[in-house]
Structure 1
Amino acid sequence: MVEDRPFLNFLAHAVLILGVVVVAFPVYLALIASTHTAQAFSSGVIPLLPGAEMANNYMTMLGTGMSSSGAPPLGGMMLNSLIMALIISLGKIVISITSAFAIVYFRFPFRNLAFWAIFVTLMLPVEVRIVPTFKVVADLGMLNSYAGLSVPLIASATATFLFRQVFLTIPDEMLEAARIDGAGPMKFFRDILIPLSRTNIAALFVILFIYGWNQYLWPLLITTDDRFYTVVAGIKRMAEVADAVPQWNFVMAAVMLAMLPPVLVVIFMQRLFVKGLTETEK
């Protein structure tokens, strides 16, 4: 039984509230900055109270963008980021769950070697192999395309490992029962494994969607056509203006809008996300 100690309860809540304040205060500053004019930052001091330009700043970013920074309207960049994040997250899940299924349920030569070869790629993130990856993408003519943005990032050793661990917890008796009922490998995969992995798929989708949405270096490297700019790379272009002072009110408005899709995904999938991370029994 956990003892009820008022002081410890107060201390725990104080630490939690302090943590929320530390995390939320920069977001609050960005929100406040997005409601002022550019002149409000000329003194170098960020206002702490809302301004009257919120609607104008947000409509400008969604409508015309910042032509002075080479950034198109934010709506197009957010659409590009959404397409990229969905392709990456869904592609990673499909490839990882099928590769984990093959490694766990099929007996073929060098099966363990194949798994460890996949697992070792965890030590090779995109930043390490970015030069040869760029060369391959350029030679295939995939620059300035959705395929170039997403395909090099689709393979995931982490997701493969997680699905493998999930499949290893499923009793062998379930596979034997499926065989007795006349179910082939793909029917067993479709009707049993995927439903049992639903919460894990949801948890991975949230993590991978945010991973894809927040990609910065790769989209910045392979996109020179503003039709394929992503929102994170677009914010970088807005903040770095040659021979001019960045218009921080517009930049912060773009930051707040860029936060919405990941936040909405987490909110709407919160129950499945938490269940997928904590569920241990099948």
Structure 2
Amino acid sequence: MIERRPILDAVSHLVLIIGALIVIFPLYVAFIASTQTAEQSAMSPLSLMPGTEMVANYTTVLTQGASGNVSSPPVSRMLWISLVTALVIAIGKISISMLSAFAMVYFRFRGRNLFFWMIFVTLMLPVEVRITPTYQVVSDFGMLNTYAGLTVPLIASATATFLFRQFFLTVPDELAEAARIDGAGPLRFLKDVLWPLSRTNVIALFVIMFIYGWNQYLWPLMIATEQTMYPIGIGIKTLISGGDSAVEWNMVMATMILAMLPPGLVVVVMQKWFVKGLVDSEK
């Protein structure tokens, strides 16, 4: 029997409410600033009441660019680039990692453990160590200012390979034996048996990798030398690079709110499967 303690329940709920308010308040301030004029958003202290320029501000940043003082492409263009980049990175990481883990678990070949540890060791290499040679390779292939340059160098994932390998090792060998007796080849076994079993894991990894790709800053900063290929992260930085006197904070805040919507929507829509993929132990 579980003992109910009203006082502890009240304290825990109070802590959760205070934590939620701490997280939500900056987002509320950003949204309020995005509905005001440039003069109102630059006032100190900032009014916490919504303004009347919400539709005009969001229409302007989506169609014309976020600021008249700083040259910037339309936010809709930057959102599209970030969306394509995040999807390609997430899907590419999952596809390559699943296939590589599948090969190392279900195929017998010399040195497979060595190859696995070679992949795993890359986790110990910080991005800064390999970013210069990677940039040189991308530049030599003429992939600057392209979607391929923004995504291809980032689609390999040692973390996802490790997670898929550990999961595949928990799958009973009897399933592979039964599939072999039924005449199923390796790809058929992967498609009809392993894929359904690992679907929640795939969704959990997709959410993590999508947000990883969406929040990329350092790599696109090197690859995207033209404004037409700026993702949203770099676009926000360019809006505030002209100093406080040149920044239209209402436009900046509108851009930031728009930048948070796609990853937030992915988390909300896939929250159920995301949590299940992280904590579910029944396979």
Q: TM-score, normalised by structure 1?
A: 0.96
1:111 corresponds in structure 2 to: 112
Q: Does 1:239 align with 2:262?
A: no
**Residue matched to 1:173:** 174
Deviation above 6 Å: which 4+ runs of structure 1? none
Aligned-pair CA distance for 1:243: 8.3
Quote the residue 2:83 is aligned against. Answer: 82
Give % identity: 61
Give the residue type in structure 1 aligned to 2:24. Answer: A
Q: What does residue range 96-135 of structure 1 map to in structure 2 within 5 Å? A: 96-135=97-136
- What does residue 157 of structure 1 align with? 158
- Quote how far apart the aligned CAs of 1:67 are: 4.9
More displaced 10-residue stretch of structure 1: 238-247 or 25-34: 238-247
**Residue number in structure 1 paired with 2:194:** 193
Q: Which amino acid aligns with 1:47?
A: S
Is it true that 1:63 corresponds to 2:98 in the alignment?
no
Match of 1:216 in 2: 217
Query: Quick one: structure 1 residues 230 and 67, their matched pair in 2 at CA, closer, same or farther if it must change by over 3 Å?
Result: farther
Corresponding letter in the other structure for 2:126: P
Q: Aligned AA for 2:71?
A: G
Amino acid corresponding to residue 123 of structure 1 in structure 2: M
Superposed CA deviations along residues 220-268 of structure 1, whole A, max 9, x for unmatched, are 2211222211011100000111684311100000000011111111111
Q: CA RMSD in A?
A: 1.3
Equivalence for 1:9: 9
Distance 1:5-1:219 versus aligned 2 partners, 3 A rule = same
Which stretch of the first structure deviates more once superposed, 69-78 or 44-53?
44-53
Structure 2 regions of 5+ residues with no counterpart? Answer: none
**2:127 counterpart SS class:** coil
Q: CA deviation at 1:123?
A: 1.6
How far did 1:178 drift? 0.8
SS at match of 2:2: coil
CA contact (8 A) 2:216 2:233 kept: yes
Query: Partners in 2 of 1:82 and 1:196 — Cα distance?
Result: 28
TM-score (norm 2): 0.96
Q: How far did 1:130 drift?
A: 1.4
Residues of 2 paired with 1:98 and 1:165: CA distance?
Answer: 13
Deviation at 1:53, TM superposition (A): 1.1
The whole-number CA distance in structure 2 between the counterparts of 1:132 and 1:244 is 38
Distance 1:127-1:70 versus aligned 2 partners, 3 A rule:
farther
Q: Secondary structure at the match of 1:127?
A: helix
What 5-or-longer segments of structure 1 have no aligned partner? none
Q: CA distance change for structure 1 residues 25 and 226 in 2, over 3 Å: closer, same or farther?
A: same
Distance 1:47 1:128, change over 3 A: farther
- Aligned 8 A contact 2:70 2:246 in 1: no
CA gap 1:44/1:130 in 2 versus in 1, 3 angstroms: farther
Distance change (3 Å), C-alpha of 1:243 and 1:276: closer
Distance 1:67 1:38, change over 3 A: closer
Question: What is the count of residue pairs matched by the alignment?
Answer: 282
Letter in 2 for 1:235: I
Q: Could you say which residue in structure 2 is the equivalent of 1:39?
A: 39
* Cα distance between partner residues in 2 of 1:259 and 1:205: 17
**Separation (CA, whole Å) in 2 of partners of 1:42 and 1:74:** 21
For residues 271-282 of structure 1, the aligned pairs below 5 Å read: 271-282=272-283
Q: CA deviation at 1:185?
A: 1.2
